[in-house]
Amino acid sequence: MRRRSAVCIIAVALGLICASNIAAAQPSTKVYRVGWLATGSPPTGADRSVMEFQQGLRDLRYVIDKNITFEFRYASGSASRLADHAAELVRLPVDVIVTSGEPAALAAKRATRTIPIVAMEFASDPEKAGLVVALGRPEGNVTGLATLSEDLWPKRLGLIKEVAPKISLMAVLWNPANPGNRICVDEIKAAAPRLGMVIRELEVGDGDALTGAFARIEKDNADALAACWDSVTLAHARTIADFALKRRLPTLMPLREYVQPGSLLSYGINLAAHRRRAAYYVDKIRNGAKPADLPVERQTNPELVINVKTAKLLGLVFPQSLAVLADDAIE
């Protein structure tokens, strides 16, 4: 009897262990809640950033609104609204916050030290901004993707000089509310003298400020126009391109998204691939990884995109040496 009792006890114990192991091996049925924090206004239609990020999730076999859901917060470029929206997401709470742009990442970090944050569309150095201790080991609750690439603006200026050698005065549109834009302007100003160029920096904190910036460009007789990557300049990429074409100004941009509506050329990351890649971080965190242990990925493979139609309208010809290097030519 004792032997039978012992056998029964062992069998029950083993059964419990097996059941526990099977349960642990099953994927979690919990719906994962993602907070989305971005500058700019809520889109009237589909948000391209969201669509490309969600495609990255689908590639990882997530089903939107089934095993993963979203809480969207847009701040219309206001720092105070960003802070309020970040606090809202923390109170809900969400399982992870995905941020678009440097101001959103900083607002999210100020709002929480515990909820994981995946920062994307981050154009400056996350270390200098105080978001992470080091790219290789963030050590806090923030990780993600940085679009760093040494000497990128000097290379951009060199490219446009090849197309339009007579450029001497370049206007640069930038948003003072975006800390990364200050770095952008400083890089342009440092590189310009070596190419015989003078820089006129023009603040555009919102769409209304573009009118004044355009008037200043006309008054100064600038002969080229550039823009730092920001939600304001990106949202008004077509307006900027149309103005430049009307004034017959070559335009130099950081992303293809500015060139598609009419700017002359860009040299920068593939933003769609960048957004899809951010889904990888969310998946890792959902499966137990800590942001502190996920190195910030440095995007260092810029693409050259040229707008052939715009070049023709401006009477410019892309040198053959430059044309063959282009990753994409928009007709």
pLDDT digits (tens, 9 = 90+) for 237-268: 999 999 999 999 999 999 999 999 999 999 99
- Within this chain, do residues 56 and 166 fall inside the same structural domain, yes or no? no
What are the backbone dihedrals phi and psi of residue 13, each rounded to the nearest 5 degrees, phi first?
-60, -45
Q: Does 15 score more than 90 pLDDT?
A: no
> What tens digit of pLDDT does each residue of 24-52 get?
444 456 899 999 999 877 877 678 889 99
218's tokens: 């006309």
Cα dist. 223→72, 167, 168, 243 in Å? 40, 6, 7, 13
Least confident of 16-20, 138-142, 216-220, 295-299: 16-20
Predicted local distance difference test score (pLDDT) of residue 150:
60
Q: Where are the alpha helices (DSSP H) in 164-221?
A: 179-191, 209-220
Q: How high does pLDDT run on average in the chain?
A: 88
- Within this chain, do residues 294 and 314 fall inside the same structural domain, yes or no? no
Q: How confident is the model at residue 22 (pLDDT cuts 50, 70, 90)?
A: very low
Predicted local distance difference test score (pLDDT) of residue 4:
52
What burial letters (b/e) apply to 123-155, b meaning 16+ CB within 10 Å?
Answer: bbbbeebebbeebeebebbbbbbbbbbeebbbe
255's tokens: 């992303």
Taking alpha carbons only, the member of 265, 280, 242, 274 closest to residue 311 is 265
For residue 18, count other CB atoms closer than 10 A to its CB: 10
* % of the chain surpassing 90 pLDDT: 69
Cα dist. 268→54, 155, 204, 265 in Å? 22, 10, 21, 10
Looking at residue 192, what DSSP letter applies?
Answer: G
> What tens digit of pLDDT does each residue of 107-132 get?
999 999 999 999 998 767 788 778 89
Predicted local distance difference test score (pLDDT) of residue 77:
61
Per the structure, the count of domains in the chain is 2
- Within this chain, do residues 129 and 208 fall inside the same structural domain, yes or no? no
- Within this chain, do residues 103 and 39 fall inside the same structural domain, yes or no? yes
> What tens digit of pLDDT does each residue of 187-197 get?
999 999 999 99
Looking at residue 239, what DSSP letter applies?
Answer: H
- Within this chain, do residues 63 and 170 fall inside the same structural domain, yes or no? no
- Within this chain, do residues 323 and 217 fall inside the same structural domain, yes or no? yes
Q: What is the pTM of this model?
A: 0.81
Say if residues 131 and 105 touch (Cβ distance below 8 Å): yes
Predicted local distance difference test score (pLDDT) of residue 299:
76
Answer whether residue 291 is part of any domain. yes
Enclosing domain of residue 139: 32-148+271-298
| Cα 30 from Cα 33, distance rounded (Å) | 9
Predicted local distance difference test score (pLDDT) of residue 127:
82
Length of the chain measured in residues: 331
Q: How confident is the model at residue 8 (pLDDT cuts 50, 70, 90)?
A: very low
Answer whether residue 13 is part of any domain. no
